[in-house]
Amino acid sequence: MVNLTDVIAPSFYAVHWDIQDGKHTYYDLYGGRGSTKSSFVSVEIVFGIMQGATTGEYSNAAVFRKVGNTLRDSVYEQIEWAIDALGVSDLWESSKSPLQHIYKPTGQKIIYRGLDKAKKTKSIKVAKGYIKYLWFEELDEFAGIEEIRTVQQSVLRGGSKFVVFKTFNPPISVNNWANKYVAEAREDSFRHKSDYTTVPVEWLGKQFITDAEYLKETNERAYKHEYLGIPVGLGTNIFELLEIRTITDEEISRQERIYQGQDWGYYPDPKAFVRCAYMPASQKILCIDELGGQKIRNTAMSQLIINKGYNDYTISCGADEIESILDFRDAGLVANKTNVYPGSRKYSYEWLQCRTLVIDPARTPRLYEEVISYEHEVDENGEIKADYPDGNDHFIDALRYATSPMSMRRGESA
């Protein structure tokens, strides 16, 4: 007999029970080296197939890596480990040509595919039952979520319940599509971040811990990325003081210093409105809400703001469209021109950079996207330019305008 607690790290117990209870379809597991996320997935697939067989559910699994020739030495060997760790090697047949594992009592299979071309997934068939489990290992190696979606649409058929695992070590850049993907709010997804500190030391070995601690002492930035799975950035990110988390209604209700900003646009540039709160004691800016989009006229924009009840505070607006400010005033909004003088753009950016931006991607998704994507440009010699690029920064501008009563105040320091 083998206890699952002997092969699943404690940090994954909640994920295991969530799968058992059938609460989610997608399980996005990411983290640093030694977090045992891949070990956990391999155990869940083998255990799930065998468990289902006892109730007449003939489920199968398909495991994907981007490049086919990496399968044998990675996910295939990982499944081999899981079969052995569960003590059921006598019940499974291993095949390397084709690459697959077969559960002998029922003929259920675990098959492996490289995703060199997503269209290859159309040829995946199983003789008995359906493919319940999908596993995308090293998610960030794939071309993007569209490629993953193509596979899911081709494979997830014929069953009533599916379990899709996506595992990866977060790339260093916060702009990588996989990092952005797990930051998006989805009700059908269970997101789980893990690292080696939650794994029993004896599982990893003394040398692993020694190497991790040495890197922590000598290069903390590399340690955070490699061992803790934190996308620390490439050094070109303009906003580094970020707190990405859920913001509750109760937290917002406690705020006393509310500020609002409006950046003008129509098409292709959007109109952008941001509502935020400033917490001077902690030097944090709580990003509460955003409104806007393309092809929105001033009258419609002002009505959006009024409908949300955001006509309770002054709106600091971009100074380049006086007529638009007058339109807001005609609608009953208290709208003022943001103070502008030589160097004010640079100074307002620097003021924001010195404060922590608390952002909930579910509340302000477009601001979140702009902030994490906003980087200094690099010249032909690889040197970082000190200026602030003008382009995909409309909601950032709205945030700058909102906080301008503070950043432009005499005596304030960036």
User: Catalytic amino acids?
Assistant: 138
Return the closest-CA partner of residue 352 out of 414, 275, 265, 271: 414
End-to-end CA distance of the chain: 63
Q: Which two tokens stand for residue 206?
A: 């003394």
Residue type at position 214 = Y
